[in-house]
Amino acid sequence: MSLSTFRKSQKAKNPHYLLFGHPIEHSWSPLMHNLAFDHYDIGAQYYTVDLLNSELNSLASYLNNDFFKGANITVPYKQVIIDYLDYIDRSAKHIGAVNTIVREGYQLVGYNTDYAGFVAPLKDYGWELEGGRAIVFGTGGASRAIVAGLVDIGIEEIFLVSRNPARNTSFPEHEQVEVVSYHQWTSLAEEAALIVNATPLGMHPNVDQSPVRETEKTVLSDCICYDIVYNPLQTTFLKQANSVGAKTINGLEMLIQQGSRSFELWTGHSFPVNKVRDKLHEQITN
């Protein structure tokens, strides 16, 4: 539902956490966080709000609602939301994007847990990636966290693939980062260790989409292919990668790990990771 509809509902009159984004109707975050709230008998609920651009002017007043306890932020608002916060954590400032809002006293503080969530599944591949090249499709808020993570795990060259590379000049300053066009990426992929889809392409309900054309998929064969989309678990991009023998990582573990850190920031409790993982697998595969 929209923000204007939500704030008129009974749900807004009880303690709650929100996911702001557009579109978000197929998010698994409510299932994940409400399961964790129930695990600790926390008297709050987590809801999704399909935030429209036309509602941004009323967002500031809503965030001061006493029943609003915190939020996650997803596309396309991870950078826009910064203007509505009192303070942002140093790592979020460095990344240039926020995906978690925490109410700390009378202040709204922004954090970025995408960074830790993205890196977690790559730890098993550290020796294959250090000193290597990565290609990332997309230049949005998630890409900013991904770049920070790739730099920290020792990737030496990062190419961000954009439909409008000339418009993406405000990326965090890293000497190993270059923004390129879709016409350039296949030649760069020949020496890449990792290729990441950080766009919504392939997300439910548009499951047939991929940043990679079918005629280009052979360049994926020697790479680790990582899709941050988690619904469906096997996106078209990952199917393309599997068909040419590439190693693949889906977005479910990133969702769980970034959600875990958000939950801990909100509540101070450890996230019931195994319980949540089992439930998400059950729901998504069914």
pLDDT at 266 > cutoff 90: yes
Q: DSSP states of 89-145 as a string?
A: -HHHHHHT---EEEEETTEEEEE--HHHHHHGGGGGGHHHHTT-EEEEE--SHHHHH
pLDDT digits (tens, 9 = 90+) for 213-251: 999 999 999 999 999 999 899 999 999 999 999 999 999
**Sign of the alpha-carbon torsion through 108, 113, 280, 198:** positive
Residue 230, annotated as binding a ligand = yes
Which percentage of the chain shows pLDDT scores above 90?
Answer: 81
| Under 8 Å between Cβ of 190 and 219 | yes
Distances (CA, A) of 65 to 69, 150, 263, 278: 9, 37, 20, 34
**Is 243 assigned a ligand-binding role in the annotation?**
no
Q: Taking 70 as the threshold, does the pLDDT of residue 168 lie above it?
A: no
The answer to whether 99 is annotated as binding is yes
pLDDT at res. 140: 85
CB atoms within 10 A of CB 130: 12
pLDDT at 75: 86
Q: 242-245 long-range contacts, Cβ below 8 Å, gap at least 24?
A: 243/217, 244/217, 244/218, 244/220, 245/221
Inform me whether the pLDDT recorded for 261 exceeds 60: yes
- Residue 85: C-alpha distances to residues 102, 116, 253 (Å): 10, 21, 28
Query: What percent of the chain stands above pLDDT 70?
Result: 98
Radius of gyration of the chain (CA): 19
**Any binding-site annotation on 258?**
yes
Give residue 218's Cα distance to chain centre.
Answer: 27
pLDDT higher than 60, residue 172: no
Structure tokens at 274: 């195994």
Q: What is the mean pLDDT of residues 87-106?
A: 94
Alpha helices in the chain (DSSP H): 3-8, 29-39, 56-63, 90-95, 114-119, 126-129, 141-152, 185-189, 236-243, 252-267, 273-285
Q: Which pLDDT belongs to residue 201?
A: 96
- Token readout for 237 is 């991009």
Binned at pLDDT 50, 70 and 90, residue 23 comes out as confident
Strand partners, 110: 88, 101
Is 279 one of the catalytic residues? no
Reported as a pLDDT band with limits 50, 70 and 90, residue 175 is confident
Partners of 48 in the beta sheet? 19
Q: Tell me which residue of 241, 286, 281 sits closest to 35, measured CA to CA.
A: 281
DSSP helix/strand/coil, 218 = helix
Question: Residue 14 annotated as binding?
Answer: no
Q: What is the pLDDT of residue 174?
A: 67
Strand-by-strand arrangement of the 45-50 sheet: 45-50, 16-21, 68-73, 100-104, 107-111, 87-88
Q: What is the pLDDT of residues 30-89, one digit of tens each?
A: 999 999 999 999 999 999 999 999 999 899 999 999 999 999 999 899 999 999 999 999
185 is in an annotated binding site: no
Pairwise CA distance, residues 284 & 236, whole Å: 16
Q: Could you name the CATH architecture of 116-250? A: 3-Layer(aba) Sandwich (3.40)
Set 13, 78, 93, 275: catalytic member: 78
C-beta neighbour count of 38 within 10 angstroms: 12
Q: How far apart are CA 36 and CA 41, in angstroms?
A: 9
Which span out of 25-29, 51-55, 194-198 was modeled with the highest average pLDDT? Answer: 194-198
Give SS3 for 79. coil
Mean pLDDT for 15-27 is 92
What's the rounded Cα separation, in Å, for the pair 14 and 44? 7
Residues of the chain with CATH 3.40.50.10860: 3-112+253-285
What is the pLDDT averaged over residues 142-154? 91
The answer to whether 244 and 217 are in contact (CB under 8 A) is yes
The CATH code for residues 3-112+253-285 is: 3.40.50.10860
List every span in the chain annotated with CATH 3.40.50.720: 116-250
